Chain A
């Protein structure tokens, strides 16, 4: 306990000294730092902040020190996160390398691979994207057809991936490829790390109903991949893929915790519901109660579920603290509930805002209102990406509840 107090003191001091003032201001949509060879920093302080945090390994606080991580224990990391929150520090780095690839590499990659790729992720030097889905392989991911053929010291990759997030800004893509066309579908897949800076790899953005293009199609046309970029064994990629999906699902589940709806009692004892406060400004109130009783009842149900969900995420983290087991098939439950909850959050916001939430662009709507409309459309993908809600329910039924095939 004494050590933890000491750790808190040192952390507080370090953050005070090293977190630039600009990085303690609320973030706008363009302020996320994704890292990478062509990283765009919204402000010089953002670069400084990433360098300092990356040097300390605190962009990936619990990863082993030997690969550049912070080497912190569960409790130390909790303290770090609390202290970061206390000064409202922005995340120094956001990346799929941190959330998805890194944890899978730590588990499955060779020593050389870990030494090469993990420190790059920690410092934000390489920006990664995910090459999983294909036009013909969505929920049935294991039917994927992009093939990698052995050509001596390297593979030659041909095929197409889809829903590759931010692929047009990324440096590398972790990709599922078919290496054993004669094997049963799960047993002929390998996990390759592919450099996108080559003529054989091209990307094309996909325009979504929200008007934005966070996803791309990625085409492989005789792309060259050195043999040392194979993670785990040949044709054993599905194990890596599944594990990585669990990390992805946990990441998406976290969206269910989003700020707007969960009613929390803060340290200063004021209780508020972001959703209800927002609804009041659009619907009005009568004697302190939200004026529309039907909407009020729906928001209360939402807040209760949201509160219960965030407690459950916390409980799972406390329970896994000692066992250090990482994500499990139960992460499908979090993915299912979190993504459905996030969709409902935006449906309720639309309901509360009425026609004010239905603007597309231009005059007559505030920027925040327009952003909510776009985000509402974006949330429709939450229960599709990373495995649909139906796929999650299948996984729970088979792998958690052990129901018959």
Chain B
């Protein structure tokens, strides 16, 4: 796969960089966080993203999208990650859109068009336990004539507190833990019997717990085939894992650069602290680790668009590596800032908080190391 971006992707990345520095620097995140808005994002900013076409990057042209691919949207997320820009872009334009692409033509036309034009917000309800597990699903959907009745609970639904549509992974047959018997449905978030309980996470963003009590959905809302959603789920998860890795890489790079600047300016014992070898070596190790992360991310995000045959493993490679390195950098950055590193006034703590939540999204490093080993035959 390509290890350098093409012109189109570079253009998207540059415009996202400009957007992030002009419209959503970290002061924007702070404003939203400290405002009365529970959702932790600014709808005005969201609409600007929509008008820039970002929600349509994975949408086929026939539904108004640009089809610029996973590398395109991920490059944008990387830049937004630098300034911790809060928005439903990942849950909607990456996860949601990728799932809806497998729905019926009518559903696709309806939902994708609205996502591109109006910024309709999507979320994916899959998790049921404290750790990511795409097959440990017991939320069930029972067939009832031409309808399904959904009952069960979901947790850690990213942006679930405010989404307009919910895509839910259910068990239509088989045992909890089995790859067979999974089905996907899309429904309105105000559906009867669906209770959404927003959870405010440590990074100030939104996730939600959801309770489905005999929620009736038409079989037209089925995404893919009944009992047969596992492959769709995994393929969408892989795209999402690669894309969130790109966002995490952006955040990690920024946290690192902030820290490097601090090492060059802070003085103790009459010297810049960056002249101390104890800190220099740690900074050099972090530099090396970030270089490795960049390669994992770019190889992974381009593999989907170029039809690579190793996308699954590359997604796990990225998520595992970037997760571990963002963890390292967020910890080291706070330590190297000393006392001010643990104050709310300095941005560096914000990256630490974001790191831990992002690490959990669709599998932490342990999950993906294990998966990488399985996919490699051990």
Contact = CB atoms under 8 A, between A and B. Distances in A.
A341 to B, nearest CB: 10
A289 B284 contact: no
A319 B291 CA distance: 13
Nearest to A263: B376
Most chain A CB neighbours (cut-off 10 Å) among B260, B288, B291, B372: B288
A207 B291 CA distance: 37
A100 B264 CA distance: 35
B3 A403 contact: no
A196 interface: no
A288 B377 CA distance: 7
Given A315-B294, A315-B298, A393-B280, A276 B309 contact: no
A271 B378 contact: no
Contact of A273 (B280, B295, B298, B377): B377
Most buried by A among B264, B291, B309, B370: B291
B343 to A, nearest CB: 24
Contacts of A305: 292, 321
A312 interface: yes
B148 to A, nearest CB: 34
A396 B287 CA distance: 8
Contact of B285 (A271, A273, A393): A393
A271 B287 contact: no
B280 A315 contact: no
Contact of B288 (A276, A300, A337): A337
Given A271-B375, A311-B295, A405 B275 contact: yes
Interface string B254-284: 0000001001100000011011010011011
Nearest to B288: A333
Contact of B4 (A304, A311, A319): A319
B369 interface: yes
Contacts of B292: 305, 308-309, 311-312, 337
A381 interface: no
Contacts of A9: none
Contacts of A307: 296, 317
Given A271-B377, A315-B298, A393-B280, A401 B372 contact: no
B19 to A, nearest CB: 26
Interface band, chain B: 35 or more
Contacts of B313: 265, 271
Given A265-B309, A307-B317, A333 B370 contact: no
A308 B320 CA distance: 11
A297 interface: yes
B373 interface: yes
B12 to A, nearest CB: 19
Given A290-B378, A403-B275, A296 B373 contact: yes
Interface string A275-305: 0110110000100111000001101110111
Contacts of B274: 403-404
B310 interface: yes
A277 B321 CA distance: 22
Given A315-B295, A333-B288, A403 B378 contact: no
Kindly name the residue among B284, B320, B372 whose own CB sees the greatest number of chain A CB atoms within 10 A.
Answer: B284
B257 to A, nearest CB: 10
B317 to A, nearest CB: 6
A155 interface: no
Contacts of B298: 315
B4 A300 contact: no
A296 B378 CA distance: 8
Nearest to B316: A304
Contacts of B283: 397, 401, 403
Contacts of A319: 3-4
A126 B378 CA distance: 46
Interface string A350-377: 0000000000000000000000000000
Contacts, number: 132
A276 B372 CA distance: 12
Given A299-B378, A394-B280, A404-B274, A304 B285 contact: no
B372 A304 contact: yes
A403 B373 contact: no
A333 B287 contact: yes
B293 interface: yes
Interface string B51-70: 00000000000000000000
Interface in A125-140: none
Interface in A221-239: none
Nearest to A309: B292
A404 B271 contact: yes
B238 interface: no
Interface in B362-378: 369-370, 372-378
A276 B3 contact: no
Contact of B320 (A285, A304, A309, A330): A304
B321 A308 contact: yes
Contacts of B260: 401, 403
Nearest to A311: B295
B375 to A, nearest CB: 7
Contacts of B293: 308
B92 to A, nearest CB: 30
Interface string A389-405: 01011101110111111
A318 interface: yes
Contacts of A394: 277, 280-281, 284
Nearest to A301: B369
A269 B313 CA distance: 12
B275 A315 contact: no
B299 interface: yes
B376 A272 contact: yes
Contacts of A397: 277, 280-281, 283-284
A336 interface: yes
A314 interface: yes
Given A309-B292, A315-B295, A403 B377 contact: no
A393 B372 contact: no
Interface string B293-324: 11110110000000001100100010011000
Nearest to B378: A276
A396 B373 contact: no
18 contacts: A265-B313, A273-B377, A273-B378, A280-B378, A300-B376, A304-B321, A308-B293, A312-B294, A315-B295, A333-B287, A333-B288, A336-B288, A397-B283, A401-B260, A403-B263, A404-B264, A404-B271, A404-B272
Given A276-B373, A315-B295, 16 more contacts: A271-B313, A285-B378, A290-B373, A300-B369, A303-B373, A304-B317, A304-B369, A305-B292, A311-B3, A312-B295, A314-B295, A315-B3, A318-B3, A393-B280, A396-B284, A403-B260
7 residue pairs, one from A and one from B, having the closest CB atoms: A397-B280, A276-B378, A396-B284, A311-B295, A315-B3, A308-B292, A393-B284
